[in-house]
Amino acid sequence: MTHPPVPYPDGGADPSAYVRTREKGTRDVTYPAAPEPLAVPVYDNHAHLEIEDGVGLSLDEQLDRALAVGVAGVVQAGGDIDSSRWSAWAATAHPRVLAAVAIHPNEAPLYAAAGRLDEAIAVIDELAAQPRVRAIGETGLDFFRTDDDGRPAQFESFEAHIALAKTHGIAIQIHDRDAHDAVLETLARVGAPERTVFHCFSGDAEMAKIAADRGYWLSFAGNVTFKNAQNLRDALAVTPPERILVETDAPFLTPVPHRGRPNAPYLIPVTLRFLAAELGVDVDEFAARVAANTLEVYGTFED
């Protein structure tokens, strides 16, 4: 996630106009070919469709490509004021989008440094009242990108977001990078929202067991396909089917064999089939289970 300048832009009157562009570097930025469609539709539990990558696809194009391969909807996640406003707008504008809104743990210290964290959280509170905003996310702790100085603001922000999920009675999508123990401890200490999701689950089997025992959901992203990610496959193996979700985190974490190229919701079938193969279960039955889990966490896309 790129960091916008401080002080933050306020989005203006038209949240739909907001776009971020991902650094391209030397990557192949063409979109991979579409996978074979799934017979049983599923949803992408976490994506950032406001971020332009590769040849920019409009929101409609993204969603149409997804639908064509059996990805019936997307939970669009915000990470700052503007992307959260955009997420809420996209969910209102499109029947196949639901929104998550939050200040990302790597953004929270920047808002705090600008003296704007309370104001930012107040904006999230306001957005969370909208009927198609069904999660607070992504929030959590990131000890990889933020050093010790930024941690008090991360904790303050995470705890405020947990409270918002409870107040609004919606799910929470947790970003946990190199902060497993602190995230689990915080949830236990302040009490987790009823529907708690680890987006892009990054722990091991031991953590997966703890999370599942506590009734949290584990959302697996394309990095589960990476060669060096045996810990994620071990985690998957011990996660009860009713706790499993699938996501892209698009445009990031593109699954093998397309790693490095832009990710998009239409690539969900690649990861879903990989998960089913790892578990040795039927793809259609697994898809039905994961789709039902999504609706249990976020509610229906249809109203």
Specify the residue, 250 or 276, whose C-beta has the smaller distance to Zn ion: 250
Minimum distance between the CB of residue 22 and Zn ion, rounded to whole angstroms? Answer: 12
CA distance 214 to 52: 36
Minimum distance between the CB of residue 288 and Zn ion, rounded to whole angstroms? Answer: 25
Q: With CA atoms as reference, report the closest residue to 214 among 194, 244, 235, 234.
A: 194
Q: With CA atoms as reference, report the closest residue to 45 among 280, 250, 278.
A: 250
Minimum distance between the CB of residue 280 and Zn ion, rounded to whole angstroms? Answer: 29
Q: Which residue is nearest to Zn ion (CB)?
A: 175
Mark 167-196 with x for binding to Zn ion (rule: CB under 5 A) and - for no binding: --------x---------------------
Q: Which amino acid is at 103?
A: I
CA 154 distance to own-chain centroid: 18
User: Contact with Zn ion (CB under 5 A): which of 239, 249, 258, 289?
Assistant: 249
Specify the residue, 142 or 290, whose C-beta has the smaller distance to Zn ion: 142
Specify the residue, 87 or 225, whose C-beta has the smaller distance to Zn ion: 87
Minimum distance between the CB of residue 263 and Zn ion, rounded to whole angstroms? Answer: 11
CA distance 64 to 37: 13
Using rule CB under 5 A, residue 20 touches Zn ion = no
Stretch that binds Zn ion, among 24-32, 53-61, 247-255, 275-283 (CB under 5 A): 247-255
Mark 137-156 with x for binding to Zn ion (rule: CB under 5 A) and - for no binding: -x------------------
Minimum distance between the CB of residue 1 and Zn ion, rounded to whole angstroms? Answer: 7
Minimum distance between the CB of residue 105 and Zn ion, rounded to whole angstroms? Answer: 8
Which own/partner pairs from 23-28 qualify as long-range (CB within 8 Å, at least 24 positions apart)? 24/53, 24/54, 27/260, 27/261, 28/260, 28/261
Burial class (CB within 10 angstroms; exposed 0-12, middle 13-18, buried 19+) of 100: buried
Structural contact between residues 138 and 106, judged by C-beta atoms closer than 8 angstroms: no
Query: What b/e string do you get for 139-174 counting C-beta neighbours within 10 Å, with b at 16 or more?
Result: bbbbbeebeeebbebbebbbebbbbbbbebebbbbb
Stretch that binds Zn ion, among 135-143, 162-170, 210-218, 275-283 (CB under 5 A): 135-143
CB atoms within 10 A of CB 285: 12
Minimum distance between the CB of residue 198 and Zn ion, rounded to whole angstroms? Answer: 10
Stretch that binds Zn ion, among 4-12, 15-23, 164-172, 249-257 (CB under 5 A): 249-257
The three-state secondary structure class of 84 is: helix
Q: What are the residues binding Zn ion (CB under 5 A)?
A: 138, 175, 249
